[in-house]
Structure 1
Amino acid sequence: MYTNGKGGGIGRVGYVYDVRMKHHFDLDVPLSAEDQHPEDPRRIYWIYEILERSGLLSQMHRVPVSPITDTQILRTHHREHLSFLKSTELMEVTELIKMQEDLDSVYICAMSLYCARLSAGGLLALCREVASENGVVDSGLAIIRPPGHHACQNKTMGFCLLNNIAIAIRDLQTTSSVQRVAVVDWDVHHGNGIQELFYSDNSVLYISLHRHDGAIFPFSSAAESSRIGRSRGKGYNINIPWLSDGVGDGDYLYAFREIVLPIIKEFAPDMIIVACGFDAAACDPIGLCNVTPECYAAMTAMLKNVCPKIVLSLEGGYNLEAIANSALACAKALAGVRWKAGLVPRAATVREYTTLPESETRGSFSSERHTYSAEWQTSPKKGSLSWWWDPADEVPLCFAAEPSELGKQVVDRVFDDVERYWQTL
């Protein structure tokens, strides 16, 4: 039985998962093929499987999933966008394959809209449960696909059909007491869709940490640090654009300490939603960065310390081992599992989209249990961190990672761009 070291349990953590989301797939690639599209239907299964094998899943609360309605979609997307997606449900396979040639990095099959409704509906249901004063959970993990943070009001792009997080936020603001939401997007790609939808809105704080070096989707100037919002939303859109690949734990934790955590604390959100892509993870074949599962867990724990109502919503991540290990680490952080209470999953070691066929995954996860040195009892190197890291807790080794010089330059530039809008800076 896992416990969190402070007398609590894991049952207050929720999750959503629905195997039917796997029915969204690329018609150009047979499901039996070894090399799948990067947005592989097995992504959600690998996360579910490792949580089950860890023993964690049985102690978490499963929130039922149902597809969202047209009304819920239309709070975020144009009617023309929904009409286009509905039209794909009646197309022949040859027509769908031809049509997707004109789309921006998106594949669609006849089941895609239904899967997108389930994906957004799962996140929405979990957020409602976390928001409820009488709910059984106060944080959660949405194991969903297709992803959503690139989807714009009237456009599919970047593997995304509906903007899951935007739909959930508008639902919360309409149906619950949650009005102020902070979105932390640590997917390696800029969440241009979320930015577009809330760019003039001061009820939503959007902070994105992403690569922006001319070599990674969506290749847009909208990802620059100078894009800080407009009108009432000025200062509420914060881009932290890494200028190269190879970014690692030290860079992310430096950005969290200098910008992310202080601003979120001042914003005082009713809920945090993480656009939880794992494509900055070590060995991801697209992100080409080096964030470890331990760092993802540490970032999750720090955000939860600032706002206990937090939901992680799966976005990208294309190495199956990396996303499974990273998601397990984050789930343990949500549950408050002390670092020494169980393994911290290892980083992936092979840079590829897929590893073993799904039928063989039962034996593919490491059950190795790590031991921890006395270094975990030392304090983080820099600054007074007591307000966002409990000094009674063991300190993760990732805190010893130094930021790169280029990473520090990026964070310092962002600081200069937004400091006038936040007293804490």
Structure 2
Amino acid sequence: MAKRTTAQTGILYDTRYTEHDTGDLHPENAERYVAVMHSLKGLRQENRDRLSRLGWIPAEIGDVLLCHEAWYHDVVRMDVDQFAEVLRTGDTAICPESYDVAMAAVGASLSAVDAVCEGGLANAFAAVRPPGHHASQGKGMGFCIFNNVAIAARHAQKRHGMKRVAILDWDVHHGNGTQDIFYDDASVLFVSSHEEDLFPHTGSPEETGGGEGVGLTANFPVASGVGGDVLLPLWRDKIGPLVLDFNPDLIVISAGFDARVDDPVGMLALTDQDFAELTGMVCAWADACCDGRVVSILEGGYDPQGLASAVNAHVGALMQAGNTI
């Protein structure tokens, strides 16, 4: 496991991710990504000494198979090649570029892991699309094709020897795909806070893991309208002790920003400052457990300007945490 050798935060963004065309009226459209990309470009211009733009290469099939069934990978490839408009396993909109862009999203997520685990960066944020946390071993759904965070976690274990990985998901929706992939796994802690009674209608507190993974799935559904006054204490007082007790070698964030106030798909009310504080908490736990290693990967957020603003706050907090080296 590499020790931190720089206070820099890595960021990853690319026009490639705009080529996954879901249609202008689809919530998960390219406009939201363009807003994030422009925001990150501006942030990097202002912080060149603290922000390092990372490169990436597309994932290989073997990377996808770390978490997905081979037949599911082939279904995705087939549906895209046959010009289907929706992935046959669910409600995920696709276009002729979707397979290549999804492989690029996985590849970028792995590059972020490599940069933190091997390159010595303090932490990293990968701005990718399509998102991934609803994709299970054999099913894409809810805007997701391949599960970027899950594959990143498994890659960290296989390539970098990270024995225990914590995946923390603050998207407004429950990360059902990530939960399914690691439900019986004692080497991965999955924690989710999410709005109750919302798609995909999973993530009850009773879902706590199975087999060797009993107790390593932790769900915290909250009521509509909840903001930082409830969620920040929840993360500090309930989730923090779980993470510290698990003592991970790496923390991966499923960084959804659709829990932000006024997002069109949810009814939570986190502010940019709330996301910055959440990020600071996670980084503090990482400092206590794993030399500060945090990899954050973009999930939801469907008000383009609100998303860009929350991402800026998130990356700003990553920079501040990384600068404590």
What TM-score, normalized by structure 1, do the two folds share? 0.70
Alpha-carbon separation, structure 2, partners of 1:314 and 1:174: 22
Find the aligned partners of 1:237 and 1:194 in 2 and give their Cα distance. Answer: 10
Contact 2:205 2:221 in 1 (8 A): yes
- Match in the other structure for 1:65: 56
Work out the percentage of aligned pairs sharing the same amino acid: 33
CA deviations 1:281-303 (Å, max 9, x no partner) are 01101112110010100110111
Match of 1:126 among 93, 102, 112: 112
Contact in 2 for aligned 1:11/1:137 (Cα 8 Å): yes
Q: What is the alpha-carbon distance in structure 1 between the residues aligned to residue 315 and residue 90 of structure 2?
A: 32
Structure 2 SS opposite 1:182:
strand
Q: Which runs of 5+ in 2 are unaligned?
A: 287-291
Deviation at 1:107, TM superposition (A): 0.3
Corresponding residue SS for 1:206: strand
Query: Rg: which structure is higher?
Result: 1
Structure 1 residue 57, shift from structure 2 partner: 5.5
Residues 180, 269 of structure 1: 8 Å contact kept: yes
Is 1:237 matched with 2:217?
A: yes
**TM-score normalised by length of structure 2:** 0.91
Check whether the contact 1:10–1:336 (CA below 8 A) recurs between aligned residues. no
Secondary structure, aligned partner of 1:286: coil
* Counterpart-to-counterpart distance in 2, 1:212 and 1:47: 27
Residues 57, 44 of structure 1: CA spacing in aligned structure 2 closer, same or farther, 3 A cutoff? farther
Q: How does 1:252-291 map to 2 (within 5 A)?
A: 252-291=231-270
Given the alignment of the two structures, is residue 83 of structure 1 paired with residue 74 of structure 2, yes or no? yes
1:253-308 alpha-carbon deviations (Å, 9 max, x no partner): 11112211111111111111110000010110111211001010011011111111
> Within the alignment, does 1:161 sit opposite 2:145 as a pair?
yes
289-298 or 101-110, which moves further after superposition?
Answer: 101-110
User: Distance between the aligned counterparts of 1:10 and 1:40, measured in 2?
Assistant: 35
**Alignment check: 8 A CA contact 2:80 2:94 kept:** no
Match of 2:180 among 196, 201, 210: 196
Counterpart of 1:42 in 2: which secondary structure?
A: helix
Q: Who is 2:9 aligned against?
A: 13
Report the Cα offset of residue 104 of structure 1.
2.6
3-state SS, counterpart of residue 163 of structure 2 = coil
**Structure 1 residues without counterparts, runs of 5 or longer:** 1-8, 30-34, 339-389, 391-425
1:305 is aligned to 284
SS of match in other structure, 1:247 = coil
Q: Does 1:23 align with 2:19?
A: yes
Aligned to 1:226: 206
Equivalents in 1 of 2:108, 2:7: separation in Å? 18
| Structure 2 CA distance for aligned equivalents of residues 57 and 151 of structure 1 | 34
SS in 2 for 1:208: strand
Do 2:14 and 2:37's aligned partners in 1 also have CA atoms closer than 8 Å?
A: no
The ranges of structure 1 where at least 4 consecutive aligned residues each deviate by more than 6 angstroms after the TM superposition are: none
Pick aligned residue for 1:52 from 41, 59, 82: 41
What per-residue deviation string (whole Å, max 9, x for no partner) do you get for residues 173-212 of structure 1?
1111212111110000000000000001111110000112
Structure 2 distance, partners of 1:37, 1:305, is 36
Cα displacement (A) at 1:103: 4.8
Matches within 5 A, 1:269-348: 269-307=248-286, 308-336=292-320
Higher RCO (CA 8 Å, separation ≥ 6 residues) = 2
Provide closer, same or farther for how the CA distance between residues 337 and 52 of structure 1 changes in structure 2, counting only shifts above 3 A.
farther
For the pair 1:109 / 2:95, whether they are aligned, the reply is: yes
How far apart are 1:61 and its partner, in Å?
Answer: 1.0
Matched residues, number: 312
In structure 2, the partner of 1:411 is none
- The whole-number CA distance in structure 1 between the counterparts of 2:64 and 2:263 is 31
Structure 1 residue identity aligned to 2:48: S
**Residues 263 and 302, structure 2, Cα contact 8 Å, conserved in 1:** yes
Residues 273, 313 of structure 1: 8 Å contact kept: yes
User: Aligned partners of 1:41 and 1:10: how far apart in 2?
Assistant: 33
Amino acid at match of 2:201: F
Q: 2-side partners of 1:85 and 1:103: how far apart? A: 9
Shift in Å, 1:324: 0.6
Give the RMSD, CA atoms, in angstroms.
Answer: 1.9
